[in-house]
Structure 1
Amino acid sequence: MPQWLQLSLITGGAIAIIALLVFIRRQMVMLSENRKRQHKAEAFQAKRRQDMIDSIHVIAMAIEEDQVEYSEACLRIKGLLDHVEPQLMEKPPFRVFMEVYEQLRHMPTHQARQDTEARFVDKMDKERFAVEKRHADEIRRAATAIRNHPF
């Protein structure tokens, strides 16, 4: 085999090796960046979940100390539990949060409530207070249970 062919093959092989090394290095960097991104996303999700759990505990304490309307608390806890542990609302005593939500979900909130006629708002408030009164003991028991629940 001529010497120039040997040199060409050696050079071609060296170029291929260098190209493969560059490719492998880029892949390693990408994998490392993806791992960092994934860890960051997992940490964010874990913090977000813990913040929601803390919010549930605060709302439960507010219920126990009668610092919040039970209907408002049930709606908020139900919304948080949807993200944290939705299957919990199927179990007693936590089922009351879903029951109250189901009975009140047709009522307008926020701006829609402000835009609603006062007479209709008064009627809804009476209905809401009746639901709260009917479930008050269950709500208090559920609040104590959820505050002590290990998430």
Structure 2
Amino acid sequence: KQSSVTADEIREKLSSIVPEYMVPNHIEFYESLPVSANGKIDRKAIIGSFSNVNTSMKEEDRPRGELENRVANIWQRILKLENISRNDDFFMSGGDSLTATRFVQTLQQENITSAPLPLRTLFSTPTIASICSYIEQNSLRDHGDAADNSYEEGTL
């Protein structure tokens, strides 16, 4: 029995289950997934099919503030993308474990994070909005800890 589900129905159901940033803006239906010469799913062909999608972005989807814009710039360079939303998923945008490692390293190299970000963090916070929120929360916590320990007895 074949079911005919619409993209809107899928988005509506997802929005009741997951946070808004995890609900895709665009859903593509395939009769069958494209495969590469070695028989694996051809992710590049799937990502390439999204090039025909309307790339106009709503103002609320654009990166916000200095941190999000800096992270978005790195994201764009590593994934070779022109336009990205603060709610785009790193891995759905073409990222893989190798580019994720480069992304995390670049965050530290460009002084966005003071310590290496655990790679698993990108898997659990895969959007610009969520990774920046994580960075802000953890840097505030680190800053608070540093302030508490900045003066020891007998030092000025």
**Could you state the TM-score of these two structures normalised by the residue count of structure 1?**
0.27
Q: RCO higher in 1 or 2 (8 Å CA, sep ≥ 6)?
A: 1
**Could you state the TM-score of these two structures normalised by the residue count of structure 2?**
0.26
Largest Rg, 1 or 2: 1
Q: Kindly indicate which of the two structures has a greater share of residues assigned to helix.
A: 1
